[in-house]
A and B are shown apart, each in its own frame.
Chain A
Amino acid sequence: MSDIPSSHEATGPIRRPRRWHIGVFLLPAFIVYSAVMILPLIETLRLSLFNTVDGQPAFVGLGNFKVLFGDERWAADFWNALKNNVIFFIIHMLVQNPIGVALAAMLSIPKLRFAAFYRTAIFLPTLLSFVIVGFIWKLILSPIWGVSPYLMDLVGLKSFFSPWLGKPGSALIAVSLISVWQYVGIPMMLIYAALLNIPEEVIEAAECDGVTGWSQFWKIKLPLILPAIGIISILTFVGNFNAFDLIYTVQGALAGPDKSTDILGTLLYRTFFGFQLQLGDRSMGATIATVMFLIILAGVSLYLFAIQRRMRRYQF
């Protein structure tokens, strides 16, 4: 690649013909991506600065945000959704990722038998749609179908059973754990890949120094897979602040009971599209989407600039 210009210099200052093929190769992807993804995104950000005043679209500056953050009709719902979303994310970080790392650490033990079988089984839920996962768990946790009480009876915990999805205090935790159940395969696989990529010599050197087992994992492997842990954290962050399907399936668009499982995705859907008596509101929908965009952008930037300095991987 790099030697082409120099060979031209050698043959004299001949102007290279216009390389139309580069444009032809790039254009289809560029057009579809720009028209369906980037321009709508920009338009959505722009719409968040407009609202309908006296039946006319009018520029209101940050007025929509003021309403969303402070107006009594909106603020309670918004802050509730944001709070729930943060809890949703924290539960994923505390449960999903440690379990994923632990599973990966066990799977990567050399010459472990049935490793392929375990991998396949544990990754299975990740492939199912939220609709399937949501309904399956709704059935299993339903007090009408005695599966959960029956299973808990086997381990003597029957008295602890309650209809978790139906109680405002526990519904959000229950939904988060369903989501964790579904997605634990992703951190597991990415960490597993990172563990496999640790060079043999490093492990051998550690073993020569008598560092084995647990202390080997904590002192040698964990620091080496920190970049992968950073990646799964940011993937979890983006996925969680953009989540919608599971809650919509399990708890409906109202994210019941009593909005205790409402997150930004469901709030955006209700606001933009309307639900039951509530009419859809395009401007406020765009405003909520903009807030979600800013949250995700902040998370991604923090990751790129503060956590992972190696920008090279993101350049072509």
Chain B
Amino acid sequence: MSKARTSLTRTSLVHLALIGYAIISVFPVFLTLINSMKDRNAIFRNPMQLPTPETFDLVGYTTVLGQGDFATYFQNSFIVTVASIALVLLFGAMAAFALSEYRFRGNTLMGLYLAIGIMIPIRLGTVAILQGMVATGLVNTLTALVLVYTAQGIPLAVFILSEFMRTVSDDLKNAGRIDGLSEYAIFFRLVLPLVRPAMATVAVFTMIPIWNDLWFPLILAPSEATKTVTLGSQIFIGQFVTNWNAVLAALSLAILPVLILYFIFSRQLIRGITSGAVK
């Protein structure tokens, strides 16, 4: 009896702690979202209150959408992220297949070479990357960003995907070979469909740092036409520091796509992490 009671108190304490921390995690985001829909007076007089019919005001959003070119920023971020993920997945899967499927001289060496990028951040090469982009005329193009993010994403993609490809049955591939499939057909038609869950995990892991990156857009593509949404909101908010409605609305606009994607992919993401894909 007493044992049951202590375990009950323990469980409630655990819930209390977890609820407390969950509130700490979500509260700032929540606060930003509710205040972005209030008028200026209400933001300051009563920051904790939900927007009421009297205080409801979308002036921040109209300012943001009227002034900043957020549609372009979103489009840029979208193009860069999708193109980079596609290239990371294609190139990463091809390399992972070569490394996990064939024995050849230099296999281990190539694996280690590609693994360097998991630990060493690509940012350290910025000085020479900018130089190279200037020399090839790619500064202020989205191509520059796509190239950098592809290179950044490949190491982890190769690492995760080759672990998964090793689990694809050899019998299946050999049956394909006997049926006269080329090695390319085996890769594209047999192996790729089987590692689709791993590809999804890699896609989510690749996406987050690309979408959120500030450093490379700031250095490689700061022009108005190529700003990503992260850089765009950084600069926009910097200009409107005193216009709290606009700042809160811009923040909310930047949060929303992440929130939506998170609710769609959170299962995939959390399963990816906890299944030991990144260890």
**Contacts of A248 on B, CB cut-off 8 Å?**
214
**Contacts of A305 on B, CB cut-off 8 Å?**
none
Q: What is the CB-to-nearest-CB distance from A74 to chain B, in angstroms, rounded to a whole number?
A: 16
CB closest chain-B residue, reference A284: B127
Contact A122 B255 (CB under 8 A): no
Would you call A127 an interface residue if the criterion is a C-beta within 8 Å of the partner chain's C-beta atoms? yes
Would you call B17 an interface residue if the criterion is a C-beta within 8 Å of the partner chain's C-beta atoms? yes
> Which residues of A140-190 have CB atoms within 8 Å of chain B's CB atoms?
140, 144-147, 150, 181, 184-185, 189-190
**Contacts of A44 on B, CB cut-off 8 Å?**
124-128
**Contacts of A137 on B, CB cut-off 8 Å?**
28
Would you call B78 an interface residue if the criterion is a C-beta within 8 Å of the partner chain's C-beta atoms? no
Contact A147 B108 (CB under 8 A): no
Contact B95 A29 (CB under 8 A): yes
Would you call A202 an interface residue if the criterion is a C-beta within 8 Å of the partner chain's C-beta atoms? no
Would you call A98 an interface residue if the criterion is a C-beta within 8 Å of the partner chain's C-beta atoms? no
**Contacts of A125 on B, CB cut-off 8 Å?**
25, 28-29
Complex Cα distance, B66 from A89, in Å, reads 41
> Which residues of B223-279 have CB atoms within 8 Å of chain A's CB atoms?
230, 233-234, 237, 244, 247-248, 251, 254-255, 258-259, 262, 266, 269-270, 273-276, 278-279
**Contacts of B131 on A, CB cut-off 8 Å?**
40, 43, 282
**Contacts of A29 on B, CB cut-off 8 Å?**
91-92, 94-95, 114, 154, 158
Contact A1 B21 (CB under 8 A): no
Q: What is the CB-to-nearest-CB distance from A249 to chain B, in angstroms, rounded to a whole number?
A: 6
The answer, among B31, B124, B212, for a CB contact under 8 Å with A130, is B212
Which of A63-71, A80-88, A106-114, A255-263 is the interface stretch?
A106-114
Evaluate whether A25 and B95 lie within 8 angstroms (CB atoms) in the complex, with A36-B148, A238-B119 already known: yes
Complex Cα distance, B220 from A311, in Å, reads 36
Would you call B72 an interface residue if the criterion is a C-beta within 8 Å of the partner chain's C-beta atoms? no
Contact A147 B120 (CB under 8 A): no
Complex Cα distance, B10 from A181, in Å, reads 25
Contact B151 A25 (CB under 8 A): no
The answer, among A132, A244, A282, A313, for a CB contact under 8 Å with B254, is A132
Complex Cα distance, B122 from A292, in Å, reads 12
The answer, among A41, A107, A146, A196, for a CB contact under 8 Å with B128, is A41
Would you call A59 an interface residue if the criterion is a C-beta within 8 Å of the partner chain's C-beta atoms? no
The interface bits of chain B over 1-45 (1 if a CB of A lies within 8 angstroms of the residue's CB, else 0) are: 000000000110011011101101110110110000000000110
Would you call A218 an interface residue if the criterion is a C-beta within 8 Å of the partner chain's C-beta atoms? no
Would you call A22 an interface residue if the criterion is a C-beta within 8 Å of the partner chain's C-beta atoms? yes
Complex Cα distance, B28 from A36, in Å, reads 37
The answer, among B29, B91, B103, for a CB contact under 8 Å with A124, is B29
Evaluate whether A43 and B125 lie within 8 angstroms (CB atoms) in the complex, with A127-B208, A136-B32 already known: yes
Complex Cα distance, B127 from A123, in Å, reads 33
Would you call A272 an interface residue if the criterion is a C-beta within 8 Å of the partner chain's C-beta atoms? yes
Would you call A118 an interface residue if the criterion is a C-beta within 8 Å of the partner chain's C-beta atoms? yes
Q: What is the CB-to-nearest-CB distance from B216 to chain A, in angstroms, rounded to a whole number?
A: 11
Complex Cα distance, B108 from A292, in Å, reads 27
Q: What is the CB-to-nearest-CB distance from A162 to chain B, in angstroms, rounded to a whole number?
A: 19
Would you call B53 an interface residue if the criterion is a C-beta within 8 Å of the partner chain's C-beta atoms? no
Would you call B200 an interface residue if the criterion is a C-beta within 8 Å of the partner chain's C-beta atoms? no
CB closest chain-A residue, reference B114: A33
Would you call A37 an interface residue if the criterion is a C-beta within 8 Å of the partner chain's C-beta atoms? yes
Would you call B206 an interface residue if the criterion is a C-beta within 8 Å of the partner chain's C-beta atoms? no
Contact B147 A25 (CB under 8 A): no
Would you call A279 an interface residue if the criterion is a C-beta within 8 Å of the partner chain's C-beta atoms? no
> Which residues of B113-139 have CB atoms within 8 Å of chain A's CB atoms?
113-117, 119-129, 131-132
**Contacts of B90 on A, CB cut-off 8 Å?**
28
Complex Cα distance, B115 from A135, in Å, reads 34
**Contacts of A313 on B, CB cut-off 8 Å?**
279
Evaluate whether A189 and B274 lie within 8 angstroms (CB atoms) in the complex, with A107-B18, A242-B123 already known: yes
Would you call A293 an interface residue if the criterion is a C-beta within 8 Å of the partner chain's C-beta atoms? yes
Complex Cα distance, B126 from A90, in Å, reads 26
Would you call A19 an interface residue if the criterion is a C-beta within 8 Å of the partner chain's C-beta atoms? yes
Complex Cα distance, B219 from A41, in Å, reads 16
**Contacts of A285 on B, CB cut-off 8 Å?**
126-127
A-B contact pairs, 21 of them (CB 8 A): A22-B104, A26-B94, A26-B98, A29-B91, A29-B94, A37-B117, A40-B127, A41-B122, A44-B126, A114-B15, A123-B270, A125-B28, A128-B29, A130-B212, A131-B237, A132-B258, A146-B44, A147-B48, A193-B275, A248-B214, A316-B114
Residues of A within 8 A of B (CB): 1-2, 4-5, 19, 21-22, 24-26, 28-30, 32-33, 35-44, 47, 99, 102-103, 106-107, 109, 112-114, 117-125, 127-132, 135-137, 139-140, 144-147, 150, 181, 184-185, 189-190, 192-193, 196-197, 213, 228, 231, 234, 238, 242, 244-245, 248-249, 265, 268-269, 272-273, 282, 285-286, 289-290, 292-293, 296-297, 300, 313-316
| Nearest 7 interchain pairs by C-beta | A316-B111, A129-B212, A40-B125, A43-B128, A36-B151, A40-B128, A25-B98
Residues of B within 8 A of A (CB): 10-11, 14-15, 17-19, 21-22, 24-26, 28-29, 31-32, 43-44, 47-48, 87, 90-92, 94-95, 97-104, 107-108, 110-117, 119-129, 131-132, 147-148, 150-152, 154-155, 158-159, 162, 170, 182-184, 187, 208, 211-215, 219, 230, 233-234, 237, 244, 247-248, 251, 254-255, 258-259, 262, 266, 269-270, 273-276, 278-279
